[in-house]
Structure 1
Amino acid sequence: MARYRTPTVLAAASLLLTALCAGQAPAAAPPGRVDIDPVIAEKLDDAITAVMREAGIPGVGVGLWIDGNDSYVRAFGTSDKATGIPIKTDMHTRIGSVTKTFTITAVLQLVDDGRVRLDAPVSTYLDGVPGGDEITVRQLAEMRSGLYNYTEDPRWLATFKADPYRSWTPQELLDIAFRHPADFPPGARWEYSNTNTVLLGLLVEKISGQPLHSYLEQNVFEPADLDATSLPTGADIAGPFVHGYTNFTPDGATVDASRWNPSWGWAAGAMISTIDDLHSWVPTLVSGKLPDGDRLLEPGTQAQRLRMLPTGHADVRYGLGIAELDGWIGHNGELPGYETVAVRLPQARATLVIVVNSDVDGKFGSLSSLVANTVTKIVTPEHVWSLPPEAQPNAVPEPSAPPASPEPSS
């Protein structure tokens, strides 16, 4: 889970990299040390505010932390254009396709429990999936199932644009996807599809016997000390929250989308979090270890998660609900009004979180990627975030945009 211009991903669109990936070039020596001294901090302040002015971004939150060393945590601009309240790093924000990292974590926990097998057909666990005897759980998590992405359906897009406050059930979303033939045979190539993660959310519910939001709260949020993170069951967002601005409207007018119902994204893109919580989550996600030293996932399962495969987009690889871009591992996400980048550079022991309260991208493409590119050019010039537009984690592609066609992966 995500934006709507191109129907591929990095989330949660959405990307990122694994240093564990076989055959990857070693990091530049020394081993990726990053320093954030006052001179670098001032350069970042100036560059970020310049980009905001040029791109017309209302508010940006940026956190860059180096384990046991320096940090750079700033918020620029406003969280609410109506009141002028400044954006702050503890405000709640919608994180789009970063949601996928949590949903797939739940699936992998069930794998560790022996209740789900990654290479079993999805039909083992769920009925009614076209071609479900041939599509594995692993292929759903890797974005290699071939199932049509429901957020590309023109009729669904028109319905959503006409009434963004409508509530959607997971089955309604799947019914839209399943009206379309598969885009390719399972495993033939990589293609971002929110349909995959919605199915995996239902798998978690079926096997665990719990609603997805309850399972995540008990088994992921609480153990990971994520007090401000949630999967909402409606349109509410806890305060204080960042207002998000979008022009995904019938007349193209820019409006406040913070109260739009994110149920259309559900397991693929509906979650809420904060910069502070994402700062804690990203190292846990990438290492597989909880803050107290316990394991989020078993080492073998975590290694499978980080087995990155080509996507057909330059410098972008994808694992199990996690991605890699030029050394950065994690996910990004976009949905109406909100954009997020939540990634880690293991070589430098660096975590980067960016939130932007607009998806009015215009000529600049993804605004969150624009800010991430600006930051990494200054701080980690050997590992610059430069996400191809066709690899964005778009949840709601524009109906007029032609679908991206990634090259088949080798």
Structure 2
Amino acid sequence: MHLSSALRAASVAALCVAVLTPVTAAGPASAAPRGGDDHRLQEQLDRFVRSPGGPPAVIAVLHYGRKTRVLTAGAADLRTGRPPRPDDHMRIASTAKAYSGVVALALADRGALDLDDTLARRLPRLPAAWGAVTLRQLLQHTSGLPDYSESTVFRDEIRADPRHHFDSRRLLDYVADKPLRFAPGSRYQYSNSDNIAVALMAEAATGTRYESLLRELVYRPLGLHRTSLPQGYRMPKPYMHGYAVDPPAAPEDVSEVLGMSGVWASGGIVSTPADMNRFVRGYVGGALFGGRMIHAQRRWIEGSSEPAGPGHNRAGLALFRYDTRCGAVYGHTGNTLGYTQLVAASPDGRRSLTFSATTQINKATDPAQVERMRELEENLVCALLRHP
């Protein structure tokens, strides 16, 4: 990649590292054509890839009990033209927040943490003004914590060196001089700082590194063999290449432009469509913590994931409810440089869906494309829920 291209990509990264912060909840997506058969869904995926500013590739994996359907469009690598595959690695962006949710809820289920634990109790080194914030509020984005990824100093460091190695456990220092945005629990506002604090609380409660907690509480129980939390910028092979798409210029490969140490528990995980599908079934289906935590997790408030998921969005604890014309699914979305993600499952966890695109799609870069994507995602949800 030419230096000018890398700097342009770095500027994009600084503006949207991990996610962009939405202020209001999303309304329902506009009505989309009904259709559940493979042919019609394939046509919709093809049109999405061909649309102006569309992603170079998309892959949808739908799982119903013993049956799995895989639909793809475009090329996972524009140099070779090969199609995307379920075992290709990719950056999962803010869907990684669901994984930190598992860690917190599983520890709370075991008594190592409590949803009403405060930052003052578990992380006394953080500003005293933040002390009343609880784990529950962090998981539901009602904490009021200032977002470290919006810090001018943080963004300037990324612009200067997109692969800069941050101390992931000191990311909140970038906003330690900032007050809370609002009284804890008084409103919803998505913040990348929330899940950094969640991971730090888990480490403080157990004396175990977050990466090890992920292996013990998430990867191993669900058999996720191609999922990891790297610190660097390299992608494990094989992988779907992520691109910056800015017509009329040709797409630029940005898969390895940005290091992951500055994202960490808020969006740094690398996984595959197959592993993500397995994860969301176990997460929503209750395989990782008990009924008391499931009940607490599903107390919904108005709040949207970023980018907005299909239908009407509401927020639980590290989980979103997407009410579509065909029914509700629970899951999470995410976007980062080169990638956009949706993971979702039926409320019982028996049916699951992952949808991945190889460019960043959000309301700041292309609001119209977000709405086209949400319509497509809603059609995929309908195909998932209506399957006999």
Q: Give the structure-2-normalised TM-score.
A: 0.81
Q: Structure 1 residues 368 and 214, CA, compared in 2 at 3 Å: closer, same or farther?
A: farther
2-structure distance, mates of 1:124, 1:86: 50
Q: Structure 1 residues 211 and 162, CA, compared in 2 at 3 Å: closer, same or farther?
A: same
Superposition RMSD in Å: 3.2
Structure 1 residue 198 corresponds to structure 2 residue 199: no
Q: CA deviation at 1:171?
A: 4.0
**DSSP-derived class of the 1:226 partner:** coil
Q: CA deviation at 1:75?
A: 2.1
1-structure distance, mates of 2:264, 2:349: 33
- Match of 1:7? 21
Q: Structure 1 residues 308 and 331, CA, compared in 2 at 3 Å: closer, same or farther?
A: same
Whichever residue aligns with residue 376 of structure 1, its letter is E
- Match of 1:125? 122
Which region of structure 1 is more displaced relative to structure 2, 306-315 or 77-86? 306-315
Q: Structure 1 residues 270 and 46, CA, compared in 2 at 3 Å: closer, same or farther?
A: same
Structure 1 residue 154 corresponds to structure 2 residue 152: yes
Higher relative contact order (CA 8 A, sep 6+): 1
Whichever residue aligns with residue 303 of structure 1, its letter is H
Q: Structure 1 residues 179 and 80, CA, compared in 2 at 3 Å: closer, same or farther?
A: farther
Q: Note the 1:76-95 alignment, pairs <5 A.
A: 76-95=73-92
1-structure distance, mates of 2:179, 2:354: 37
1-structure distance, mates of 2:294, 2:156: 39
Q: Note the 1:6-405 alignment, pairs <5 A.
A: 6-8=20-22, 40-55=37-52, 56-68=54-66, 71-130=68-127, 131-246=129-244, 255-259=252-256, 260-289=258-287, 296-311=288-303, 315-326=312-323, 327-346=328-347, 349-359=350-360, 364-365=366-367, 370-377=372-379, 380=382
**DSSP-derived class of the 1:340 partner:** strand
2-structure distance, mates of 1:366, 1:239: 33
Q: Is the 8 A contact 1:77 1:86 kept in 2?
A: yes
Identical amino acids, percent of aligned pairs: 27
Q: Is the 8 A contact 1:16 1:322 kept in 2?
A: no
Whichever residue aligns with residue 297 of structure 1, its letter is F
Q: Which residues of structure 1 form unaligned runs of 5+?
A: 18-33, 290-295, 385-410
1-structure distance, mates of 2:56, 2:345: 25
2-structure distance, mates of 1:283, 1:382: 13
Whichever residue aligns with residue 198 of structure 1, its letter is I
Q: Which residues of structure 2 form unaligned runs of 5+?
A: 1-14, 29-33
Which region of structure 1 is more displaced relative to structure 2, 369-378 or 47-56? 369-378
Q: Is the 8 A contact 1:341 1:372 kept in 2?
A: no
Q: Is the 8 A contact 1:359 1:367 kept in 2?
A: no
Q: CA deviation at 1:9?
A: 8.2
1-structure distance, mates of 2:59, 2:44: 14
Q: Deviations over 1:250-271 (max 9, x none)?
A: xx99532211212211001000
